[in-house]
Amino acid sequence: MLYYLFEYLEKQFQFPGATLFGFLTFRAALAMILSLLISTIYGKRIIRFLQKKQMGETIRDLGLDGQAQKAGTPTMGGIIIILATLIPVLLLAKLENIYIILLIVTTLWMGVIGFIDDYLKKFKNDKEGLKGRFKILGQVGLGIIIGTTLFFHDDVTMKEKLPLEVQQELLAENPKIEASKLFKEEVKSTKTTIPFVKGNEFDYSDLITWISPDLEKYAWIIFILISILIITAVSNGANLTDGIDGLAAGTSAIIVLTLGIFAWVSGNIIFSEYLNIMYIPRVEEITIYIAAFVGALIGFLWYNTFPAQVFMGDTGSLTIGGVIAVIAIAVRKEWLIPVLCGIFLAENMSVIMQVSWFKYTKKKYGEGRRIFKMSPLHHHYQKSGYHESKIVTRFWIIGILLAILSIVTLKIR
């Protein structure tokens, strides 16, 4: 809203300083500062409100050190993250941008699913909360919305580079040629990026066109199915990671900040040409949302680091996972998620391995056996005697290393 206000003031009155709002970097910096202030200043008030409404967490005895002291800590703190993200975005982003619209929808959609889950646990005394099948249904529904919109919406396009020989001819004729002249016109595409591969672009349509070229018109089905898979997997991974103070919020801030770099370079034609990556017009506006989201996560950590004054609950964790997945799909970096979101993957896999091995050994030997002392993975280290602050810090360090490796894939092919 402020963006449109200052745009109007600049055009009509040449208002001093109004042109600053035309710069992406200025709006992104302002969005981060504003979200930090909202989450830290008003976060305390939200925590008090949650305490007043008796939204304290009921801690199930898992035999972990320090667990009993956490009973009664307010949950549903994801509301802080959601509000501190959406307010700066509504004020500073271009609201007609399709990517911004999709991220707002994702935030509200996943936030509502998580809120219902937390609400049922606290006010209906349902320990399981929202049934798993309804969570999956909500994730699938969001995947369909995101996949359909990104495939069919007119503003979701990309520009491919001209053939190398054509580029060389143009550069020979004019060495100072604009970067935009080295790209084709905007086109609809189902291409994505495969990391660590020399020809790192992959078209989803190739999965079916090998059968018959006529099947290319059905590539949208593949794209939507991939969107559903990514959104479901990442949101569940974020949910499982939210188990000890500061782990999910800190890890997610690192991941989202990295995706912000990808969004910025992918939406900038000069950097896209220099890095030899796909250029996605209009996707750079996501940077505003990402800046606000990172600020909200860091501000939330003010109250969520050990010993936590508030837990994010499913309201926060499901929202975080959904947002990360949608950003990755939008910038066509969804197959980088196993690397970038390696912490989420490890948490997910530890649960799958533990449950699968327990069921298998129980059927074969009559008693269930375990791979880990407890799953998800962070509980295994707690059972091994590590303090949760040490676990969180080391997971953050691993997350930073994975983020750096992900950024390096821009040039390593």
Using pLDDT thresholds of 50, 70 and 90, give the confidence band for residue 6: low
CA atoms of 105 and 137, how far apart (whole Å)? 16
pLDDT above 90 covers what percent of the chain?
Answer: 58
State the Cα–Cα distance between residues 33 and 383, nearest whole angstrom: 38
Q: What is the pLDDT of residues 21-36, one digit of tens each?
A: 788 999 999 999 999 9
pLDDT digits 0-9 by tens, 197-235:
777 788 898 889 888 888 888 899 999 999 999 999 999
User: Where do runs of H (alpha helix) occur along 60-158?
Assistant: 78-92, 98-123, 132-152
Instruction: Please tell me the distance from the alpha carbon of residue 203 to that of residue 121, in angstroms, as a whole number.
Output: 43
- Confidence tier at 55 by pLDDT (50, 70, 90): low
CA distances from 98 to 104, 160, 164, 209, 400 (A): 10, 20, 32, 29, 30
Q: Is the pLDDT of residue 119 over 70?
A: yes
CB neighbours of residue 176 within 10 Å = 5
Task: Look at residues 318, 144, 108 and name the one whose alpha carbon lies nearest to residue 226.
Answer: 144
Alpha-carbon Rg for the chain in angstroms: 23
Domain boundaries, the chain: 24-55+78-338
In whole angstroms, what is the distance from residue 111 CA to residue 318 CA? 7
Furthest-apart CA pair in the chain: how many Å? 81
Strand stretches in 189-330, DSSP E: 191-193, 201-203
| Higher pLDDT pick, 296 / 188 | 296
Instruction: Please compute the mean of the pLDDT values over residues 148-174 and round it to a whole number.
Output: 80
The owner of tokens 């049934």 is: 131
User: What are the b/e assignments for 211-246, b being 16+ CB within 10 Å?
Assistant: eeeeeeeebbebbbebbbbbbbbbbbbbbbbbbbbb
pLDDT of residue 334: 93
Nearest Cα neighbor of 17 from 31, 29, 28, 5 is 5
Long-range contacts of 103-106 (CB under 8 A, 24+ apart): 103/286, 103/289, 103/323, 103/326, 103/327, 105/142, 105/145, 106/142, 106/146, 106/319, 106/322, 106/323, 106/326
Cβ(293)–Cβ(301) below 8 Å? no
pLDDT beyond 70 at 336:
yes
CB 279 within 8 A of CB 272: yes
Tell me how far apart the alpha carbons of residues 246 and 399 are, in angstroms, rounded to a whole number: 13
User: Does pLDDT of 412 surpass 90?
Assistant: no
- At 22 the pLDDT is 80
Q: What is the pTM of this model?
A: 0.92
* pLDDT reported for residue 69: 64
Cα–Cα dist 215/197, whole Å:
26
φ, ψ of residue 151 to 5 degrees: the values are -85, -40
